[in-house]
Structure 1
């Protein structure tokens, strides 16, 4: 199983359930709207980060990208639609359960 941190959006609706059905476990969600989020670290054990680009503070995106590179954690970018998320994750991590080979 793979752990995933989703950054952005206030509510995810059915997205976590769809990700779980595809093999993702331990899905962590952080809204990304508040500027204090810049100070948070990436939790240990996160295998991949999904950034929902239409619901995130721009500064947080930059800081998150830098921290992810330091920890060698892949980052995917998508809009908050299942179609966009599915495609982004498949392209970001070729061996993931959502791979679009």
Structure 2
């Protein structure tokens, strides 16, 4: 599976933990000056870190993901929040 992470300047160990869960392709787009956001067509899901993104970019991401039928998860930049959201939405086996 592939995932696009939007928001956050640095991700720390989040990409490593996501790869351990089975995400092969991980793309990161910062939440700063990213008004020209382009969603790759092979993305399986979008993860938006709500505490490090502008409102306009958040709306842009949501609209583009909806037009591509890609699920969007909104959560804070903490591994426990990300893991809980992935589990709740059924992305973990």
User: What is the TM-score of this pair, normalised by structure 2?
Assistant: 0.94
- How many residue pairs get aligned? The number is 93
Specify every segment of 5 or more residues in structure 1 that has no aligned partner in the other structure, as ranges: none
Q: Map Cα deviations across residues 41-69 of structure 1 (whole Å, 9 max, x no partner).
A: 10121000000000001100011101110
Aligned residue among 27, 36, 41 for 2:38? 41
Alignment of 1:82-93 (within 5 A): 82-92=79-89
Which structure exhibits the higher relative contact order, with contacts defined as CA atoms closer than 8 Å and separated by 6 or more residues? Answer: 2
RMSD: 1.1
Specify every segment of 5 or more residues in structure 2 that has no aligned partner in the other structure, as ranges: none
User: What is the TM-score of this pair, normalised by structure 1?
Assistant: 0.87
Q: 2:51 is paired with a residue of what secondary structure? A: helix
1:59 matched to which residue of 2?
56
